[in-house]
Amino acid sequence: MAVEPPPSNHHGDPSTPGGLGYFHLRLLGPAASLFLLRSDRLYSLSFSRRRGYRLRLIASPARRRRRCRRRDLLLSTSGCVLRLTHCFSSPDAVRVNGLPLHGGGGPVDLAVGDEVSLLLLGSRYGFVAEKFVACERGDKVPGSCEEVLVLRAESLRKRLRAISESQDPLSFLRDSHCAHAGVKKAREGGGLLCQENPVNSVPQDNLRQQECNSDQNRLEHQPDVTNEDTVQLPQRSKRCSNVELKGCSNGNVEQHHTEGRYSDGSTFFLNRLTSIRPEMRAEQRSGVTLPQLLHPIGSLLRVFIATFTSDISWFLDYCKIPQYLPVTIACHNKDRCWSANSENRTAAPFENHPNLLLVYPRFPEVIAFGKDRKNQGVACHHPKLIVLQREDSMRVIISSANLAPRQWHLITNTVWWQDFPRRTSPDYSGLFSAFEGPKSDFAAQLVSFIGSLINEVPSQAYWINEIAKYDFEGAGGYLVASVPGLYMPSPCYLESNYCLSEKQIIHTKSSHRIFLGSVQTSVVGLSHRFHLPSDAGSQLKALSVFLGKCRGNMHGTTEVILKRNTNIPADANAVSVLVADLDKFCEEDSVQLGFLPREVAKWVSPLSDTGFFKFSGFIYPREALEAAFGATNTKVQLLMYVSKGPEFSQISGLIQDEHLPSLCSLVACLKRSPGLWRLEEVLSHFKWPETLETDFMYSASSIGTSINPQFIAHFASATGKRSNHDVDSEESDPEWGGWTAGHELKKPSISLLFPTIERVKSAACGIQLSRYLLSLPEKTWQRLRSTGIFHDAIPHPHDRIGHPMHVKVAQRRFRSRLGGHSFGWTYCGSHNFSPAAWGQPLRPTSKANPTDATRGAPSGSRLHICNYELGIILIAPPPGMSKEGNGRRHGIDGISLPFVIPAPQYKYSDRPATPLAMRQAMAEACIPQSDLSEETDEDIPDEDDEHVVELSDCCPEEKEEEKIYAETLWGQVDSSQSQGKDS
């Protein structure tokens, strides 16, 4: 075939012998990826349905050994001539510009613009020789875009070689100061670079497309490699895949990636997909990058991150995190999060970043199968939160993206953020504020959630104090958090007359106290105190008498007295629980029921001793009697109320570092409405007119195994959904008009958006990228397919079609009769549509403890939550109800959803992308299941099909360590009382 000279407008001439440069090969097809071939190397190009395109550097010209395998193309670039050789037996297997090659496979020289196609596995694949870029400057303009591209590609090759030769590759990757001098030199010519910056767009927008293949995320050693220079290109190590792309230029080269972005918190944005070229994006500023969110890095004081999966090395390099910056990352680890040993729940694995700490939040025993931590349970640490502290502001970011490159570069995710100004002085009252309609409780929700993650890591407790320094009153939305546990509704504040204080019992009137919240805890030590043969009978009789005299309140509880025990050597923080006749209280005329648990007493006592807070307690009398008589093995509940102490207003001046862990434990333990109950708490403040509803939809990448009409009805009811004929009812019963499973079966309330298998199969990256991203169990689909609630999730805007979505977005929209404007609410965050995330409402079973009826929980209802989750609700209030005190309204029409609405309902032949459907599609495409990496940076929580939580299964029992602690205290209390009598 005649070789045509390249066009004169290209830099360099590939026919010129001895020149050094790079050939650009553009793949044909939807991926349109770009390969860069150095002009003095020998490469092998192959394609398979299992691995996709694979380009391997065989050897340098000096030591090349030609070992051509079947179905491989050899591309020689010796002397700056692109030469093709192949080993196919069929004369029609390889075509150049549509014409078959003859003559036994070559060699054939290619010119710029030539198109090569290969017949493989029954389909044609190929590439175009797009251009040649020479490295010599000659008469080129110094610092031109293409020259810098070549320098960056050469730097990437050198860096890959340095990594392979390094004795400690991980440390090498963590070093953010190892960029090549050549690239640095090119970077300094920023004023001469093209304004549209193709230098950045080529490597990032095209090379990163190779990450679509699961086997192309790492370097591989091939058996036909003949020397140390051999690497696989453009495949890159997952950990180093972004180091050169983002770390070798700054300033003008990456201005559109590192410039700051502003948000007032009234809407959310999408991440910028690097696989979409800038000129193809629907809106240039519609996407945000992680470096933009962190910009400027130099002003950060500290960073807090919560994520499910993470690639920490990538994050440190990609965002150029300074080595000195304090960074706390709370993340998921199945073994560490279930460990009973707190030392197993932290790690500091990066020597070059000594101030970076990994925290693995604890899963409580109450959510474990069979109440046994060893059996674990369905649980995930699943939030996506970033908190950036600066001297003058604190930025809170809530996303659906984990801290992993594919989630930020290849997959659509939502990003909400808002900056909050610094206060002139810390406000600790805001950390305990309750939801009161328009008044924001953002600070209290944020500090409570972070506190639950770092509660057992004292070195991180300073975050609670830092949050108090910023003003969150102008928050654009309401936080919605889920924390694993078993919850029952909190009764309203109960009048109490006695509170805990150092070395004495203080009698105080409730009217002079400002209530801050309640803590659900227990009394330990009853089994020891009332089962001793010596005086068990007399103690039980006295206890019965006192409890009989106690005045019960409307919730069936009675007040007890909390007393500091400073004379017990085993625990200086010990707190006794006393039962007495409170009308004429005398400490000698009382019966000690037991003690506060050690883990509670260790923060209650210091905070009480300092005068920052006051604590009072209530128990269920019948429950205490049953436990004392041995009729039950469950813990005796103690409801502890917290109010401001005499020194509360002086906290900012009196608080010391040693107080911070106790303060952190308090905010973490205070009862707040989680999951579905929080959703209801926020949205029930507004009256949503059912007859004006136009849309109610939820798009999630994972739909729970146990989803059924009952759960869907619970979710709809929590959002304010009511049956139409009862909307205007004047009935006082709060359940009147509520949305039930019966209503749900008759008329589904919500549209669930989930991609069909055909949509996933036609994606730019195929099924591989979605396999560990999407989860809709086949059983759930078969159970709900006849309900008509499933709709196809079509990405929006149009340039995102073909790219997977990982969003968790819900919206309920209404249209006003007057003016036709829309209002409603929108949720975005980490909650998938599952009971594990939002909570499973539970009702008492026939085996439930009979005292449940007296505990004040409406109908005995409880909420069982498995996951840590965090999201934000943005509200556009109904006409006449402004969310803002100044009357400013959020417009729901200003929120651009990441999917097409109205979403098309599934046709009869449609099938969602369930794991079964994706496995079958992969089998049809001859993609072996075993060839897909089992490691994933996606976040599909495991759920057990057969696991059903019963209320009776969730009653906690006293643990062995609690029994040992209580017995030790009892022994020293009894000894001290005996010595007092003898004296």
Token reading at 890: 């959020």
Neighbouring C-alpha atoms within 13 Å toward the C-beta of 467? 31
Sheet holding 34-38, edge to edge: 34-38, 21-27, 123-134, 115-120, 94-96, 99-100
Query: What three-state secondary structure class fits 899?
Result: strand
For the chain, the C-alpha Rg in angstroms (whole number) is 33
3-state percent helix, strand, coil for the chain, nearest multiple of 5 = 30, 25, 45
Q: Which residues contact 235 (CB under 8 A, 6 or more apart)?
A: 54, 55, 210, 216, 217, 218, 219, 220
> Residue 497: left if φ>0, alpha if ψ -120 to 50, beta else—which one?
alpha
- Interatomic CA distance for residues 752 and 411, integer angstroms: 20
Whole-number Å distance between alpha carbons of 864 and 653: 40
- Catalytic, 806? Answer yes
Q: How far apart are CA 104 and CA 960, in angstroms?
A: 80
Return the DSSP state at 252: G
CB atoms within 10 A of CB 392: 9
| Residue 761 CA: distances (Å) to CA of 127, 767, 768, 927 | 22, 6, 9, 12
Does the annotation flag 808 for ligand binding? yes
Rounded Cα–Cα distance for residues 618 and 856 (Å): 12
Among 561, 573, 640, CA closest to 606: 573
Between CA 288 and CA 405 the distance in angstroms is: 14
Q: Tell me, what DSSP letter sits at residue 381? A: B
Cβ pair 130, 26 in contact under 8 A? yes
- Write the CA distances from 812 to 164, 413, 875, 897, integer angstroms: 53, 20, 10, 12
Residue 185 assigned ligand-binding role: no
> Which is the catalytic residue, given 86, 353, 381, 382?
382
Which residue bears the tokens 């030609």?
66
Q: Which is the catalytic residue, given 24, 332, 796, 806?
A: 806
Strands 385-390 and 300-306: antiparallel
Cis peptide before 107, with omega less than 30 degrees from 0?
A: yes
The two beta strands, 269-271 and 287-288, are parallel
CA distance linking residue 344 with residue 540, whole number of Å: 42
Nearest Cα residue to 690 out of 740, 749, 741, 746: 749
Mention every residue, 6+ apart, whose C-beta is less than 8 A from residue 481: 383, 445, 448, 449, 672, 674, 675, 678, 869, 870
Nearest one of 731, 711, 713 to 721, comparing CA atoms: 713
Tell me, yes or no, if 382 is annotated catalytic.
yes
Neighbours of 325 (CB within 10 A): 16
Phi, psi at 29, each rounded to 5° = 125, 180
Q: Hey, what are 263's tokens?
A: 């948000």
Closest CA to 970 of 526, 631, 521: 526
Residues 438, 440, 445, 448: is their CA dihedral positive or negative? negative
HSE value, Cβ hemisphere, 13 Å, CA-based, for 534: 3
- The rounded distance, in Å, linking the Cα atoms of 311 and 332 is 12
Which residues are marked as active site? 382, 806
Binding site per annotation, positions: 384, 808
Binding site per annotation, positions for substrate: 384, 808
